[in-house]
């Protein structure tokens, strides 16, 4: 369990930077792809334009998520506003599904059924796709750099951390940029096969495949956010770190129970029952527990901690299993 507030603050700023870079890149790509789609009439380019406009709109949701979720606890929300990050990130994922996946599949199917065979300027399409790949690559590398750094800090595998991180904005940018790069390759292949064979069905199929890809990504993102909105527990490693930290408190003899739940990106709520050292007078127990709670809350990741005195017949902590996720 990391204790540096400076490190957490830096990670929050890094996530904001990642989203801003993604927004600028997607906006430029969306404009270029729209021009190419209108100029060439390519179904795959229409799908790619819809994809990029969906991504651009999604980055706005992610910026809102980052801003609203970063507010600290107050009287109305004693656990802070971190869960708002997952709500706005879910809206972004829904937007990706509707504006990206659904539009791409629908346009591809209608083009396939209509047997459209427009006269396309293939060079324009290829140039725009190359520019789009470059811009998306810049955004993708920024998200990769952030994930690689945080994964190393938590001693996690790169892909596992990308999928399991409690930061939904970072996961969304990485997933969307990955899908964008794959989508560009699919669109290029569809247009290339159309050019080689003269059969516009390849272009239409490319549009459908891009839509299916976006639908899969949107579903994964929605499911991840659902888990955090409904209460995601900490991983075994995080659970062990919290137990170890509580055991280090001087007045704690042993830890009987610990429950951890994420309440925002890299923010946890801790509930634990403990045995205290020696015999405390009843009047001192509440004061002692509250002081120990404040010590735990000095770690910026711990939004709130609640400690209680364990009952005599309470089970051993070794019988408790925690599953889930890293900070």
CATH of residue 310's domain is 3.30.70.1350
Q: Within 13 Å, how many C-alpha atoms sit on residue 103's CB side?
A: 18
- What pLDDT does residue 205 have? 93
Q: How far apart are CA 169 and CA 87, in angstroms?
A: 11
- What pLDDT is recorded for position 313? 65
Domain end marker among 202, 229, 256: 229
Q: What is the pLDDT of residue 320?
A: 47
Which residues, 6+ apart, have CB-to-CB distance to 277 below 8 Å? 250, 251, 252, 253
83-95 and 201-229 helices cross at what angle (nearest 10)?
A: 160
CB atoms within 10 A of CB 114: 11
| 91 lies in the same domain as 161 | yes
Chain-centroid distance, C-alpha 174: 8
pLDDT at 199: 87
Angle of the 43-69 helix axis to the 122-153 helix axis, nearest 10 = 30
Regarding whether 80 and 137 lie in a shared domain, the answer is yes
232 φ/ψ angles, rounded to the nearest 5 degrees: -90, 125
Query: Do residue 261 and residue 193 come from a single domain?
Result: no
| Cα–Cα distance measured from residue 113 to residue 105, given in angstroms and rounded to the nearest whole number | 12
**Residue 132: what pLDDT?**
93
Supply the pLDDT for residue 276: 86
Does residue 252 lie within any of the structural domains?
Answer: yes
**Domain-terminating residue out of 185, 208, 229:** 229
- Cβ–Cβ < 8 Å for 315, 256: yes
Tally the domains of the chain.
2
Global pTM reads: 0.84
Buried b (16+ CB within 10 A) or exposed e, 264-296: bbbbbbbebbbebeeeeeeeeeeebbeebbebb
For residue 177, the model assigns a pLDDT of: 93
312 in a domain, yes or no?
A: yes
Three-class DSSP category at 321: coil
Beta bridge partners of 274: 255, 309
Query: Which tens digits make up the pLDDT trace of 101-120?
Result: 898 899 889 988 887 655 55
Relative to beta strand 302-309, strand 252-264 is unpaired
Q: Choose the final residue of a domain: 229, 246, 280.
A: 229
* Statement to judge: residues 199 and 70 lie in one domain: yes
Within a domain: residue 326? no
Cβ atoms of 267 and 69 closer than 8 Å: no
User: How far apart are the C-alpha atoms of 43 and 27, rounded to whole Å?
Assistant: 20
Cα torsion through 255, 259, 262, 263, rounded to 10: -100
Whether residues 119 and 252 share a domain: the answer is no
Q: What's the N-to-C CA distance of the chain in angstroms?
A: 8
Q: Select from 270, 243, 253 the least CA-distant residue to 309.
A: 253
My answer on whether 259 and 170 are in the same domain is no
Domain hosting 194: range is 5-229
Which of 84, 55, 62, 71 minimizes the C-alpha distance to 16? Answer: 62
**Are 8 and 266 in contact, with CB atoms under 8 Å apart?**
yes
In this structure, are residues 143 and 170 in contact, taking their beta carbons and an 8 Å threshold? yes
Q: Find residue 252's DSSP bridge partners.
A: 276
Query: 36 and 147: one domain?
Result: yes
Report, as ranges of residue numbers, the positions in the chain whose pLDDT lies below 70. Answer: 1-12, 116-120, 280-283, 313-327
Domain match, 17 and 106 both: yes
CATH number at residue 191: 1.20.1510.10
Q: Is there a single domain that holds both residue 215 and residue 254?
A: no
Could you report the per-residue pLDDT of 244-286, keeping only the tens digit for each?
Answer: 999 998 888 889 999 999 999 999 999 999 988 877 666 688 8
């Amino acid at each position: 369990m990391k204790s540096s507030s400076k490190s957490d603050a830096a990670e929050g700023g890094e996530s904001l930077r990642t989203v801003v870079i993604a927004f600028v890149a997607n906006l430029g790509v969306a404009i270029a792809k729209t021009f190419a789609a209108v100029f060439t009439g390519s179904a795959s380019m229409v799908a790619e334009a819809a994809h990029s406009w969906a991504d651009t709109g999604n980055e706005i949701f992610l910026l809102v998520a980052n801003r609203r979720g970063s507010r600290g606890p107050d009287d109305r929300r004693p656990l802070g506003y971190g869960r708002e990050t997952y709500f706005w990130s879910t809206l972004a994922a829904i937007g990706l599904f509707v504006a990206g996946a659904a539009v791409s599949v629908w346009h591809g199917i209608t083009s396939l059924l209509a047997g459209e065979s427009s006269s396309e300027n293939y060079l324009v399409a290829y140039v725009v796709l190359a520019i789009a790949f470059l811009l998306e690559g810049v955004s993708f590398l920024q998200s990769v750099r952030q994930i690689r750094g945080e994964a190393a800090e938590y001693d996690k595998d790169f892909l596992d951390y990308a999928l399991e991180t409690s930061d939904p904005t970072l996961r969304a940018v990485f997933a969307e940029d990955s899908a964008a790069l794959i989508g560009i390759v699919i669109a290029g292949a569809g247009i290339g096969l159309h050019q080689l064979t003269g059969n516009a069905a390849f272009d239409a199929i490319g549009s459908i495949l891009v839509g299916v890809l976006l639908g899969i990504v949107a579903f994964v993102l929605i499911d991840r956010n659902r888990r955090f909105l409904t209460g995601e527990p900490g991983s075994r490693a995080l659970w062990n770190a919290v137990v170890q930290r509580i055991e280090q408190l001087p007045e704690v003899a042993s830890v009987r129970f610990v429950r951890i739940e994420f309440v925002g990106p890299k923010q946890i709520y801790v509930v634990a029952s403990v045995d205290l050292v020696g015999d405390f007078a009843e009047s001192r127990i509440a004061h002692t527990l509250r002081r120990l709670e404040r010590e735990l809350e000095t770690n910026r990741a711990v939004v709130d901690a609640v400690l209680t005195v364990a009952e005599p017949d309470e089970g051993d902590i070794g019988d408790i299993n925690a599953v889930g996720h890293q900070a």
